[in-house]
Amino acid sequence: MHSLITYRKIIHIDMDAFYASVEQLDNPELRGKPVAVGGGGERGVVAAASYEARKFRVRSAMSGVLARKNCPHLIFVKPRFTRYKEISQKIRAIFYDYTNLVEPLSLDEAYLDVTENKKGNPSASLIAKEIRQRISNELHLNASAGISVNKFVAKVASDINKPNGQKTIPPEEVLPFLEELPIEKFFGIGKVTAAKMYSLGIFKGKDLKEKSLEFLTQHFKKSGNHYYNIVRGIHNSEVKPNRLRKSVAAEHTFVKNLTSEIFMLQKLEKISEELEQRLIKSKVSGKTITLKIKYSDFKTQTRSKTVPYFVKDKAILFETVKELLFQEKTQNSVRLLGISVTNLNIHSKKNRKIINVQLKFEF
């Protein structure tokens, strides 16, 4: 007798060009035009780009200078995070009409577990369609969705029919889908890892699947085990409605590069004050303090220290980063400094076990 196979029904909702779309929603003059949220000056960085801007190869995290070079008629808009958060909360309110198992990843994306849902709807695909329709009708914004048996595949699927579309990968199609998926499309595999995989003859999921666990751990350390599992459709991470905060940070990008450690210390003192306020507001403290330094050539360096007690006081933060700054000489001019606190004093409750239900209906 065959045992019943149980599957979760996971939806990944991803808003389309969220920040830029909100700006176009609030200002009709921006609609249909290439818009970048962020700074267009010499030191500016693109936080988000409208689809009209993306046609000109404008992307998030791109420098404002390069974005303008690619699209001379690009319109830069300053970010309004209070407004984005307000709309994000309205989007989440829609999610909670369907399930309490909602795991926000950021203001513009979240996982939903609808295996059992408040509407009693057996089809995750129809639920995703209904949620997207409600976001469109009630908030006048577009969302895309991926639907599958686990978070990893749902996340990959949500990118396939963007913008304003959705893709379902039902249980029987998961393995064939992953085998044909180009390796750079696997969520979590960036340009550097993809290039390394190409050099090892791994171009698609099926190439990755042919490699042994021993081979993958030899070349990719701990990540090798993860790659071995995901290409086989194994990803058992549950949708966690109360994701624990792992870090609190503050950082500043400077109008002019800093070349003197005296100026760096002045900036770090201000960042320490800002970080203290964020820690107080978040009601947390932490043991590991990390100094982040980004140089003028965009290379990033981090230096960390773990102390035996929980910290949130600006004076202790500043003294620790001062020590980290002088740990070794800074290489050249610095464009960004940041401080983060991890190893926080948050104790996780045991995750509520989610009951898997046999799929008796259309996925």
**Catalytic positions, written as ranges:** 109
Q: What is the C-alpha separation between 7 and 362, in angstroms, rounded?
A: 12
How far CA 345 is from CA of 279, 282, 311, 312, 322, in Å, comes to 11, 11, 10, 11, 23
The sign one gets for the Cα dihedral 76, 82, 85, 86 is negative
- Helix 213-220 to helix 222-230 angle (10° resolution) is 140
Which uninterrupted H or E stretch holds 235?
none
Peptide bond into 163 cis (omega under 30): yes
| 325 neighbors 291 (Cβ within 8 angstroms) | yes
Nearest to 357 by CA among 3, 5, 6, 4: 6
Please, are residues 22 and 47 in contact by the beta-carbon 8 Å criterion?
no
d(CA 123, CA 114): 9
What's the DSSP call for residue 28? G
Separation of alpha carbons 241 and 351, rounded Å = 9
C-alpha to C-alpha distance for 293 and 334, rounded to whole angstroms: 7
Query: Closest by alpha carbon to 39, among 72, 70, 64?
Result: 64
3-class secondary structure, 306: strand
Distance CA 11, CA 114 (A): 7
Strand partners, 110: 13, 104
Q: How far apart are CA 79 and CA 82, in angstroms?
A: 9
